[in-house]
Chains A and B, each alone.
Chain A
C-alpha cells in the first residue's frame, strides 16, 4: 500500500535532548512537509522540501532541523533549542501539481518530560 509512515507514534523526551522523527513515503512524491499541531491550533509549517537535497524553512522553523538525502525520506530533528517541543507532528507529501492536496502520515506525538 502506498502511503506515508511516521515513527515513532509516541515519543517521550527529557528536556535538553534532541530527538529525530522519521517520515518515509512510497508515493514517489517530490515534495515533503513537516507540520506541527497544538491543541486548538491549525497546522503550522515547520519545514518543507520540494526536491532531494533542498529544503526551506516554514513559519516556525526555529529549534528544528531537517535533511532530504533521499526522495523517500524526510526526517525531522527537534533540538534542545526548541522552547516548547511538546506537540503532535505531522509529515506530508504532495505531487508536483501544486494543488495544495497533501497526503499526511498518522503523526507522531512528542512529549517532553
Chain B
C-alpha cells in the first residue's frame, strides 16, 4: 500500500524557515517523481514544486522560486521542502504527492498533509 506521511509543519514567524519532510513507503520511491502541493485555509489547490526520480529535474512555482528548495533522499525514501523567507501567504496545508509522470505535475497518491502557519 502506498503511504506518504508528511511532517515538519508548525507555526513560524514571517521571514523564518521551516523544513518539511515526507516519508514514503509501499512503492519504489527512487523510481518516481514527486510533488509538493499546498492549500491555503478555505482555498483551492496550488502546485508548489516537483522533483524527478534522480533529482535531475527540479521545478518551482513562481510564487516560491528562490525561497523554497525541494530535495529527496532515495536511500531514506524521503522527500523534503526547505522553506525560507516565509510569508503570511505561505500559510497552507502542504501535501506531498507521488507523480504519475516523469517531470511532475501529475499527482496520483497524496499524503495527509502538514499545516504551516506563518504569523507573528
User: Are A and B part of the same complex?
Assistant: no
